[in-house]
Amino acid sequence: MAPYDKREGKIWYNNELVDWNDVKLHVLSHGLHYASCVFEGLRVYDGEIFKLEEHTDRLFHSAKRMDIKIPYSEDEINQATKKIVSVQNVQNGYIRPFAWRGSEMMAVSAQKTKIHVAITTWEWGTYFDPKLKSEGIKLNISKWRRPAPNTIPWDTKASGLYMICTLSKHEAERDGYTDSLMLDHEGNVAEATGANIFFKDKNGELHTPIPDSFLDGITRRTVIEIAKSKNIKVNERKISPNELSSFVGCFLTGTAAEVTPVSKILENDYKVCNLILDLSSSYEKLVRKKKAINLRGTLETMFLMVTVIMTQCLVATVQILLVVMLVTIS
C-alpha cells in the first residue's frame, strides 16, 4: 500500500479540488502543535456514503466544543463530501473530513488563526485483518485511562483525545494483542482505542458501558437499534473489570471496526457466538442496502423476463397446436 502522501487524485481543500500531492500544510500550523483539530471518519459502501448527515453533525459539534468555527455550513460540507467521493470514484472506502487552526499564531492563544477544512477519501477494506476478525481479536488492558469528563471535551472527535489511544494500541501490538481495552477515570470499562465495546451474558443479553466520558459512537447507536429490533435486551451501565470473566461473548463497534468479535481480553476467553455473527450480518446488510436493493431489482427484472418468455412460449405452443388441429381436421 502506498504511503498516504504518495497517492494520486484530488483532495477537497478549503473549497477547492487540489491535486493530492500539491496539498500543503505549514509546519507551524497551530493544529499540528496544540492539537486544535477535529475530524470525522465515514465509510463508503457500494458508492454510497453511510450516515453522512450524522457524521457531519458530529463534526460541527466537535468543532463548537473546541471553539473552532468551520467557515462552511453543514450542507456545504455534505455536498463537498459527496463531490470528492464522486471525483475519486470511491466505491468501498473511507472518508476523513477535518478542520484545524492555521499558522497565523504560534501560542496557546490562537483566536486569530484561520480555520482550514479538508476532506479526503480513498478505497479501503477492513480495519482489522479479515482472518483475525472472523476468529475474534485479542485485547489487553491499557495502563492509560479515559480522562474525567470535566478535564477535556470528551464527547468530541478531537485529535488530542487520540494520543493515549495511539500509545495504548502500540503497547498492545508490541505485546502480541490486536487492540487495547481502556478503562475510564473511575476504573470501569470504557472502550477500545477506536471503537465502543459490547459484552454478551449467559442469558443472551448485551451489556455496554454508558458513554459519559468517551464518544457515543454512531455505529454503537446503530447496533443498539439493530439489537432492539431483534428483541435483544441492551443494558447500558457501568461495567467493572471484575465482571469480564462472567461474560460469554464480546465485540467492538465503530465506523472503521464495523462489528468485530473479540475472542480474548487478557486471560478471559469469549466465543464468537451466533448472536454476534447475526448482528454483524445485519449491520452488513444495512450498510450495503443499495446493493440489496439493486439485487432485488435485478431479481424482479429477471422474474419479469422469465414470465414474458414463458408467456410467449405458451402462446406459440397454443398456436402450433391450433395449426396441427386444423391440418388434422382438413
6 has catalytic annotation: no
Query: Contact 106/28 with Cβ under 8 angstroms?
Result: yes
For residues 182-200, one letter each, b for 16 or more C-beta atoms within 10 angstroms of the residue's C-beta and e for the rest, the string is bbbeeebbbbbbbbbbbbb
- Tell me the CB-side half-sphere exposure of residue 146, using CA atoms within 13 A: 28
Q: Which residues contact 25 (CB under 8 A, 6 or more apart)?
A: 32
For the stretch 29-32, contacts whose Cβ atoms lie closer than 8 Å and that sit 24 or more positions apart, written own/partner, are 29/100, 29/101, 29/102, 29/103, 29/116, 30/100, 30/101, 30/102, 30/103, 30/104, 30/105, 30/106, 30/110, 30/113, 31/100, 31/101, 31/102, 31/116, 31/159, 32/100
99 near 68, Cβ under 8 Å?
A: yes
Compute the distance between CA of residue 22 and CA of residue 68 in angstroms, rounded to an integer: 25
And the C-alpha cell for 29?
500550523
What is the C-alpha to C-alpha distance for residues 316 and 226, in angstroms, rounded to an integer? 51
The total number of residues shown for the chain amounts to 330
Active-site choice (138, 157, 169, 200) = 157
Q: From CA 154, how far away is CA 66, in angstroms rounded? A: 11
Active-site residue set: 157
